[in-house]
């Protein structure tokens, strides 16, 4: 039932899908199956505790890992750095062509007899040579456009006797190592994670149209621009355009285009490095989680199996493992379970002993009643019959008193556990009890004893306890002292403090207690009464109940004898130690 309640509480707190994830579908509470058999059946699979510890650790790590792999800000900075490099290259190319391929061109003036008009223009033959050399200097494809949109030069073509010939650059072959293979696999996986930077598709059909391609349009207006795109294969493409100018007159446009292999490599390299770190941390987390689960789960399993053996065992030799050397909460748990088991065993022994004592004490009056009943049927003399009936009546009263005291004693522990402690003025309580004995209801009582309290009545001394229960204890002790005191003797009650305890001493002037009985008198059903009392008037549970009550108050009760200067016993003393309020 406890497990079921715990699951219901968890469902109220956690989202439904997390509850479903953490719940073991194969687990059910089977009280009929021993716990060691349940665990043996599931020993071939990972325990629920291990799964939960790993889940908590891995979820937190994955959130951190995916956050690092997102890398949006870092990607933006890399792209901006690459674009700035392309803009610088475009400026450099346009400046070189402006200086080396632009020549003055003279046209006949429409006005007769005037000198030819001079203007500047890009010379195609020079431009092609320069564009070819500039293209060989880097990986970019360089194209030169006139302002009317014609291609004047392209670094990927050659002009020869056969006309224009395309040039295809060969990439060096590279052996694929294990690291490269891992990187490719990791990148394939990481590509499933969306990047923060969204790139437009490369407009390959517009790149030769100056009026449509964005970079070329800006270059015609005199601006240098660059952009990053993604082609149909998902690869990076970087373009940049700059105007070829003379005295702020745009004579043409230089357009650079290259694959973003370097940019993509930088981005992928950092992602792969983070992914490697993530996998390493994940592996360490899994191993530490398994270690932590074993460190917690195995000792708990041992404790649970030992507790189960105690529960179902028919003998009391089952013992909880001692893990106090761990110095942690599990060690504390093992200590508490060991103490609880020992206390439980002691309680069971006490119950067995109590049951045996009860059976013995009840059997005596029952035997007496049975003998008297069997005898009364055969006795004809009226006086003998009356005597037997008195014996039966006395034993019935004794049996009734015995059963009442046994019932009160058996309920005492549970009642004391529910009662609340408060400050009790022990001096005032003792004066109230002593008044009952100073002014007895029966004026003809021959056995008169004076109860003297040595502490003034106005001195308030508070102890922690339950007033009614403490009154029950002191009543038992005073009554017991009176029964053992001689006629016209005195009972002295004194109170003094010792550290954080108040000690109450009740001393009589009776015959005292044998030295070998100072501990035994607190046992159940121990009876040793004075000669002037009738046998059977006491059940022998008074001092036992008093000890039970004082120990429930976390106090102490004990007995001793008052010794004279000559070494004779001149009375008995009972001490009660209680906590100061």
Domain ranges of the chain: 1-32, 71-161+178-259, 420-581
Please name the residue ranges forming H helices in 242-328: 261-312
Q: What mean pLDDT is predicted for residues 482-499?
A: 86
Predicted confidence (pLDDT) at residue 163 exceeds the cutoff of 60: no
Contact residues for 359 (Cβ-Cβ < 8 A; gap 6+): none
Predicted confidence (pLDDT) at residue 155 exceeds the cutoff of 80: yes
Question: Which tokens hold the place of 240?
Answer: 């940049």
Q: 71-161+178-259 maps to which CATH number?
A: 3.30.450.20
Contact residues for 337 (Cβ-Cβ < 8 A; gap 6+): 303, 306, 307, 320
Round to whole Å and give the CA distance between 552 and 473. 12
Contact residues for 277 (Cβ-Cβ < 8 A; gap 6+): none
Categorize the per-residue pLDDT at 494 as very low, low, confident or very high, splitting at 50, 70 and 90. very high
Question: Which tens digits make up the pLDDT trace of 386-411?
Answer: 887 887 887 787 777 777 777 776 66
Q: What mean pLDDT is predicted for residues 2-17?
A: 41
Q: What is the pLDDT at residue 237?
A: 93
Q: What mean pLDDT is predicted for residues 484-501?
A: 87
Q: What is the pLDDT at residue 347?
A: 76
The rounded percent of the chain whose pLDDT value lies above 90 is 13
Does the reported pTM lie above 0.75? no
3-state secondary structure 379-391: CCCHHHHHHHHHH
Max CA distance (Å), the chain: 184
Categorize the per-residue pLDDT at 4 as very low, low, confident or very high, splitting at 50, 70 and 90. very low
Q: What mean pLDDT is predicted for residues 482-501?
A: 87
Categorize the per-residue pLDDT at 22 as very low, low, confident or very high, splitting at 50, 70 and 90. very low
Question: Which tens digits make up the pLDDT trace of 253-282?
Answer: 999 999 888 888 887 787 787 778 778 887
Q: What is the pLDDT at residue 21?
A: 44
Question: Which tens digits make up the pLDDT trace of 532-577?
Answer: 455 445 556 778 888 888 888 889 999 999 888 888 888 899 999 9
Question: In CATH terms, is domain 420-581 a member of 3.30.565.10?
Answer: yes
Q: What is the dihedral of CA 123, 127, 130, 133, to 10 degrees?
A: -150
Q: What is the pLDDT at residue 160?
A: 45
Least confident of 125-134, 324-333, 419-428: 324-333
More confidently predicted of 424 and 47: 424
Distances (CA, A) of 65 to 10, 184, 266: 28, 19, 19
Q: What is the DSSP letter of 580?
A: B
On average, the pLDDT of the chain sits at: 76
Name the region of 388 (left: φ>0; alpha: ψ -120 to 50; beta: rest). Answer: alpha
Q: Where are the beta strands (DSSP E) in 482-568?
A: 490-498, 501-507, 556-563
User: Strand, coil or helix: what is 190?
Assistant: helix
- 256 forms beta bridges with 142, 240
Predicted confidence (pLDDT) at residue 239 exceeds the cutoff of 90: yes
Categorize the per-residue pLDDT at 91 as very low, low, confident or very high, splitting at 50, 70 and 90. very high
The rounded percent of the chain whose pLDDT value lies above 70 is 73
Least confident of 146-150, 373-377, 421-425: 373-377
Per-residue DSSP letters for 351-407?
HHHHHHHHHHHHHHHHHHHHHHHHHHTT---HHHHHHHHHHHHHHHHHHHHHHHHHH
Predicted confidence (pLDDT) at residue 381 exceeds the cutoff of 70: yes
Predicted confidence (pLDDT) at residue 9 exceeds the cutoff of 50: no
Least confident of 51-55, 130-134, 360-364, 529-533: 529-533
Predicted confidence (pLDDT) at residue 135 exceeds the cutoff of 50: yes
Q: What is the dihedral of CA 433, 439, 445, 448, to 10 degrees?
A: 70
- What is the radius of gyration, based on Cα positions, of the chain? 52
């Amino acid at each position: 039932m406890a497990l079921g309640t715990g699951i219901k509480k968890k469902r109220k707190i956690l989202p439904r899908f997390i509850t479903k994830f953490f719940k073991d579908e194969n687990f059910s509470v089977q009280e009929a199956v021993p716990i060691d058999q349940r665990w043996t059946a599931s020993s071939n699979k990972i325990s629920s505790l291990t799964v939960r510890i790993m889940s908590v650790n891995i979820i937190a790590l994955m959130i951190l890992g995916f956050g690092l792999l997102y890398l949006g800000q870092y990607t933006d900075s890399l792209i901006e750095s690459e674009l700035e490099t392309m803009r610088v290259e475009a400026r450099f190319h346009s400046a070189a062509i402006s200086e080396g391929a632009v020549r003055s061109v003279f046209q006949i003036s429409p006005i007769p007899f005037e000198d030819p008009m001079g203007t500047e223009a890009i010379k195609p033959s020079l431009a092609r040579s320069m564009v070819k050399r500039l293209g060989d200097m880097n990986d970019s494809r360089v194209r030169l456009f006139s302002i009317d949109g014609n291609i004047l030069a392209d670094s990927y073509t050659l002009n020869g006797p056969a006309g224009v010939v395309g040039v295809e650059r060969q990439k060096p072959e590279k052996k694929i190592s294990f690291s490269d293979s891992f990187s490719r696999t990791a990148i394939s996986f990481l590509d499933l994670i969306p990047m923060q930077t969204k790139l437009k598709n490369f407009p390959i059909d517009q790149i030769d149209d100056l009026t449509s391609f964005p970079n070329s349009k800006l270059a015609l207006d005199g601006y240098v621009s660059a952009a990053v795109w993604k082609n149909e294969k998902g690869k990076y493409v970087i373009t940049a355009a700059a105007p070829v100018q003379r005295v702020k007159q745009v004579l043409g446009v230089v357009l650079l285009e290259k694959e973003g292999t370097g940019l993509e490599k930088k981005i992928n390299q950092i992602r792969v490095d983070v992914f490697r770190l993530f996998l390493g941390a994940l592996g360490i987390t899994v191993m530490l989680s398994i270690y932590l689960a074993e460190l917690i789960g195995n000792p708990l399993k041992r404790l649970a199996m030992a507790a189960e053996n105690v529960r179902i065992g028919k003998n009391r030799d089952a013992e909880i493992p001692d893990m106090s050397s761990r110095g942690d909460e599990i060690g504390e748990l093992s200590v508490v379970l060991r103490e609880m088991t020992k206390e439980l065993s002691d309680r069971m022994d006490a119950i067995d002993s109590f049951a045996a004592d009860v059976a013995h004490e009840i059997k005596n009056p029952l035997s007496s009643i049975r003998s008297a009943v069997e005898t009364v049927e055969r006795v004809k003399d009226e006086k003998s019959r009356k005597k037997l009936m008195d014996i039966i009546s006395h034993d019935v009263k004794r049996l009734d008193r015995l059963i009442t005291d046994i019932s009160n004693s058996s309920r005492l522990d549970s009642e004391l556990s529910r009662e609340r402690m408060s400050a009790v003025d022990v001096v005032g309580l003792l004066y109230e009890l002593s008044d009952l004995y100073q002014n007895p209801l029966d004026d003809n009582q021959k056995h008169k004893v004076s109860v003297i309290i040595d502490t003034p009545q106005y001195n308030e001394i508070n102890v922690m306890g339950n007033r009614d229960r403490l009154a029950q204890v002191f009543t038992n002790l005073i009554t017991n002292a009176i029964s053992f005191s001689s006629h016209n003797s005195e009972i002295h009650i004194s109170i003094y403090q010792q550290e954080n305890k108040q000690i109450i001493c009740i001393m009589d002037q009776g015959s005292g207690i044998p030295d070998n009985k100072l501990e035994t008198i607190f046992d159940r059903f121990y009876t040793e009464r004075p000669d002037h009392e009738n046998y059977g008037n006491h059940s022998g549970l008074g001092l036992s109940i008093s000890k039970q009550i004082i120990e429930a108050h976390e106090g102490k009760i004990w007995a001793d004898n008052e010794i004279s200067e000559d070494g004779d016993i001149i009375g008995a003393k009972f001490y009660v130690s209680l906590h100061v309020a």
